[in-house]
C-alpha cells in the first residue's frame, strides 16, 4: 500500500481549472486500478492532495437544490462570482478568498476502504487544527462538516465538506473558512441547512486576519498523523 501523498499547493486558482485538474488525476488513478485488475499489473497507485484558494464561486452538488442559491446570475456577476453544478455529494457551497480548500485524491485501497471513516478523519483533521487556536469544534449529527456550539441556538459552521468516490478513489473535499468574507454566504442557504449560521476563524478569534500558511501547515500535519501518510511536496503544474 502506497502511503505517500503528493502535495500540490495551487495558490489562488480558478475553480473550473482546478476541477478539471482533479478529474485528470482522479481518472489516472481509476484507469490504473482497472488495468491492475484486468492485467494483474501490480502497479502502485498514486495519491494526491491539492490545496487551493478560489476566486468567488458557488457550487451545487448532485443532490442539491438550486433554490438554495438565493440570487440570479446577474447578481452573481455583480459580486464577481461564478456558479457550477458539480459531481460531489452535498448541496450548495461557497468558495472564495480567505478560505483553505483541500482536495485529497486518494486511492483508499492504500489506506482503508471506508468512506464514512474517510469523512470522519477529514473532520477530525479540522477539529484538531481548530483546537490549536483554542476553539472547541464538533461534528453535528446528520450534518457533514465541522461546527461550533453544536446543540445551541448559536450553532455555526466553519468548515464544509463534500466528496465523490468511485472504485475507492476520492475527489473534492473540504473548505475551511479562515479569513472568509461571510457576506457571500448570505446569497445562499449554506449546504441547504436553514437557520444555521456560518463563521470564519478570524471572526471567532476576533482578529482581522489569520496566517493562512500557518493554518495549512497544522491541517497537513494532522492529515499525516490521522491517515498515517507521508506528504511529499510536488511542484505545481504549469
Question: 173 among the known binding-site residues?
Answer: yes
Question: 90 among the known binding-site residues?
Answer: yes
Question: 1 among the known binding-site residues?
Answer: no
**Marked catalytic residue, from 191, 198, 201, 212:** 191
User: 148: alpha, beta or left, given left = phi > 0 and alpha = psi -120 to 50?
Assistant: beta
Measured CA to CA in angstroms, residue 216 lies from 87, 96, 207 at distances of 26, 16, 18
Question: 175 among the known binding-site residues?
Answer: yes
Question: 131 among the known binding-site residues?
Answer: no
Phi, psi (deg, nearest 5) at residue 178: -110, -55
DSSP state of 151: T
Q: Is 159 a catalytic residue?
A: no
Query: How far, in Å, CA of 230 to CA of 238, rounded?
Result: 24
Question: 96 among the known binding-site residues?
Answer: no
Question: 151 among the known binding-site residues?
Answer: no
Q: Are 176 and 159 in contact (CB under 8 A)?
A: yes
Q: Which residue has the cell 470522519?
A: 120
Question: 94 among the known binding-site residues?
Answer: yes
Annotated binding-site residue numbers for substrate: 88-95, 160-162, 173-175
Looking at the annotation, which residues are catalytic?
191
Annotated binding-site residue numbers: 88-95, 160-162, 173-175
Amino acid at each position: 500500500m502506497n502511503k505517500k501523498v503528493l502535495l500540490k499547493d495551487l495558490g489562488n486558482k480558478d475553480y473550473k481549472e482546478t476541477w478539471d485538474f482533479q478529474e485528470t488525476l482522479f481518472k489516472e488513478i481509476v484507469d490504473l486500478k482497472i488495468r491492475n485488475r484486468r492485467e494483474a499489473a501490480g502497479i502502485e497507485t498514486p495519491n494526491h492532495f491539492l490545496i487551493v484558494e478560489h476566486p468567488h464561486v458557488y457550487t451545487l452538488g448532485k443532490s442539491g437544490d438550486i433554490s438554495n442559491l438565493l440570487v440570479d446570475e446577474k447578481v452573481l456577476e455583480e459580486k464577481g462570482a461564478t456558479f457550477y453544478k458539480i459531481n460531489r455529494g452535498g448541496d450548495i457551497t461557497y468558495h472564495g478568498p480567505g478560505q483553505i480548500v483541500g482536495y485529497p485524491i486518494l486511492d483508499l485501497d492504500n489506506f482503508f476502504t471506508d468512506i464514512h471513516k474517510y469523512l470522519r478523519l477529514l473532520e477530525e483533521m479540522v477539529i484538531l487544527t481548530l483546537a490549536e487556536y483554542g476553539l472547541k469544534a464538533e461534528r453535528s449529527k446528520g450534518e457533514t462538516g465541522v461546527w461550533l456550539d453544536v446543540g445551541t441556538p448559536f450553532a455555526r459552521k466553519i468548515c464544509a465538506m463534500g466528496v465523490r468516490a468511485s472504485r475507492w478513489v476520492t475527489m473534492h473535499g473540504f473548505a475551511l473558512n479562515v479569513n472568509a468574507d461571510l457576506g457571500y454566504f448570505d446569497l445562499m442557504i449554506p449546504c441547504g441547512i436553514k437557520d444555521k449560521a456560518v463563521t470564519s476563524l478570524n471572526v471567532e478569534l476576533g482578529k482581522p486576519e489569520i496566517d493562512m500558511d500557518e493554518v495549512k501547515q497544522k491541517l497537513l500535519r494532522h492529515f499525516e498523523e490521522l491517515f498515517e501518510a507521508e506528504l511529499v511536496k510536488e511542484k505545481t503544474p504549469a
